[in-house]
Structure 1
Amino acid sequence: MRWQEFSVRCPELAAAARHRFAADQLVLLGTIRSDGAPRISPCEVDFAAGDLMLGMMWRSRKALDLRRDPRLTVHSLPADKDNAGGDIKLDGRAVEVTDPDPRERYCAAIEARIGWHPTGDYHLFALDVEHAATVRFGGDEGMVVRRWRPGGPVVTEHRAG
């Protein structure tokens, strides 16, 4: 499901992801290479036109991976080994965005964030969320995992640290 619907169905995980991605301004993007091996790449994300958008340089390897096989993972950047802010992980599929209106809204969002906007050709994908999870460590609760899949509730699991 697209970001806007995910935000309605799972507001607490969507809010955590939005906050974390805005603070970090960079995520780790997992894609599948043509030989089937995993690829991890840094990627900026922006929220525009009701979607979580991933913009990429024209013909970059990660963009070509997604055009061939849209499965992906978006993972927050851990600040350090303790990662007090926790992890956010979203799994799903990339949907290539070619319509001018959402592309213009993406350009406005990235320009508002960093004072720059893409020129020339670039790839733009929206995330279709199929699974979401947060993991937080520390405190009296130990490790707290919150998971969601479409059709189900958010499940919270406490594990000893």
Structure 2
Amino acid sequence: MATWNDIETAEPEFAARVRGLFDAHKHKTIATLRADGSPRISGIEAEFADGELTFGSMPGARKGADLRRDPRFALHSASVDPPEGNESAWAGDAKVAGRAVFAGPLDGDVSGDLFRTDLEEVVVIGLNPDATALVIETWTPSGGLHRVERA
């Protein structure tokens, strides 16, 4: 597992692109596991702060209950369509997967639970400069950064 700071240290340019994709839009999508093992998709906001990627869950939210029972999650940045006629200008999208670690109550005016992330995988998906192939860049703590193109 890795913290966000570990990724920024290991691959600063890649981490900056991932963070840029997540920060480009307020709302993200998180996948958690229900008690019966089936997936649950929920909207969520996330924040990069002090070397950590964190997110919250409002009181009584099912995603928070899911994460307390089974901490595995996947978080996806907002995904927008490539610009028509200029597909190579598409910034792509990003996703991370790992385990959510309860970090205490949310600070401020909003109540709920704060989770920090232990990351197992970080991915950026985009297009090559000619927009003829999908480019998948994956970072893992054990394998580092890898790039694959799929035509």
TM-score band by shorter chain is 0.7 to 0.9
Kindly indicate which of the two structures has a greater share of residues assigned to helix: 1
Between the two proteins, the alignment pairs up a number of residues equal to 144
How far 1:89 moved relative to its partner? 1.1
Letter in 2 for 1:122: G
Contact 1:94–1:125 (CA under 8 A) maintained in structure 2:
yes
Letter in 2 for 1:61: R
Q: Percent identity?
A: 38
Over aligned residue pairs, what C-alpha RMSD do you find? Answer: 2.0
Q: Indicate the SS of the match to 2:144.
A: coil
Contact 1:58–1:123 (CA under 8 A) maintained in structure 2:
yes
- Matches of 1:139 and 1:6 in 2, distance apart? 25
1:19 is matched with 20
Kindly indicate which of the two structures has a greater share of residues assigned to strand: 2
Instruction: For structure 2, list consecutive stretches of 5 or more residues without a partner in the other structure.
Output: none
Instruction: For structure 1, list consecutive stretches of 5 or more residues without a partner in the other structure.
Output: 108-116
Q: Indicate the SS of the match to 1:24.
A: coil
How far 1:50 moved relative to its partner? 2.0
1:89 is matched with 95
Q: Indicate the SS of the match to 2:141.
A: coil
Shift of the 36–158 alpha-carbon distance from structure 1 to 2, 3 Å rule, reads same
How far 1:138 moved relative to its partner? 5.6
- The answer as to 2:115 corresponding to 1:125 is yes
Shift of the 155–127 alpha-carbon distance from structure 1 to 2, 3 Å rule, reads same
How far 1:146 moved relative to its partner? 0.5
- Matches of 2:142 and 2:11 in 1, distance apart? 11
